[in-house]
Amino acid sequence: MRQKMVFVIFVFCVGTVVGNLLIIVTIKSSQTLGSPMYFFLFYLSFVDSCFSTSTAPRLIVDAFSVKKVISYNECMTQVFALQLFGCMEIFVLILMAIDRYVAICKPLWYPTIMRRQVCIILIILAWTGSFIHSMAQIILALNLPFCGPNLIDHYCCDMQPLLKLTCMEIYVINLLVVSNSGAICSFSFVILMMSYSAEGRKKALSICTSHITVVILFFGPHIFIYTCPPTSFPMDKMVSVFYTIGTPFLNLLIYTLRNAEVKNAMRKLWHIKTTSENKR
């Protein structure tokens, strides 16, 4: 059973990385995918690859190890990576929603509002905000006193599992974690869904089905994990595996299988590559 689970995780991780790299190369190489939507999709694919690989390789190695040990520095690095790329994915999804909102509700102003310079500034702000968020989380984690035994009842190092190992009153710390991560997830989710369901914008529901699906799949588990108290639930680990490994893989399928422009660009790129190789 364990080997089957590890094999599934391995397939998801490899599929996520390879598929997202293909999307990145396609967007960079294609002249037809130059709109802001694909500019943001480029970063979503990059972040998904990093988010998935921040946990999956370690999980696979631990599955075949007798002693499942992670050093303190590796654990803190994993916390930082999870918070950085998880927060960045939230911000990129918000930027993609803003792009769709402007395209649908302000079509005449779209070329002016979502010009290239604006998109670059928005991405820089997203990276900056993600870095500040992850630094706040890692500073909290580095100042936690651990009394031992330092056994993490989880498959990765994250803030909530680490809080259970501390030998101090964690009410205030947990409140800071929830107000930081939980509030960002919940508030962003509400804003995103309101942008799609507001009166006069109902056509966004039919046009942006893919994006809405990704938002629900990503934010649902995040809200569950980061707004709950630091107590163990039987489904905590499964939810964490889903949003760190399963969701990036599903994002890949949703944005490729449901996007005709991306599929056509991939076919053209493959055709050009095979043609150039045959001419050699």
What pLDDT sits at residue 31?
78
What pLDDT sits at residue 228?
59
DSSP 8-state symbol, 147:
-
Q: Which of 153, 160, 138 is nearest to 72 (CA)?
A: 138
Alpha helix stretches (DSSP H) within 227-259 = 236-241, 247-257
Q: How far apart are CA 37 and CA 33, in angstroms?
A: 8
181: CB partners within 8 A, 6+ apart = 83, 87, 133, 137, 159, 222, 226
CA–CA distances in Å: residue 116 to residues 90, 112, 261: 21, 9, 20
Handedness of CA 23, 26, 32, 34 (dihedral sign): positive
Asked if 49 and 248 touch (Cβ cutoff 8 Å), the reply is yes
Please state the φ and ψ torsions of residue 166, each to the nearest 5 degrees.
-80, 155
Residue 114 three-state SS:
coil
Alpha-carbon dihedral 169, 173, 178, 184, rounded to 10 degrees? 180
Whether omega for the bond prior to residue 234 falls within 30 degrees of 0, making it cis, is: no
Q: How far apart are CA 129 and CA 106, in angstroms?
A: 27
What pLDDT sits at residue 120?
95
Structural domains of the chain sorted by starting position, each given as residue range(s) with its CATH number in brackets:
2-279 (1.20.1070.10)
Q: How far apart are CA 220 and CA 101, in angstroms?
A: 22
What pLDDT sits at residue 63?
75
What pLDDT sits at residue 199?
40
Q: How far apart are CA 202 and CA 194, in angstroms?
A: 11
What pLDDT sits at residue 159?
79
* pLDDT averages per 10-residue partition of the chain, 280 residues: 72 87 87 86 92 85 77 88 89 85 83 92 94 89 80 78 77 66 64 58 55 67 60 62 79 74 75 59
Handedness of CA 128, 130, 132, 135 (dihedral sign): negative
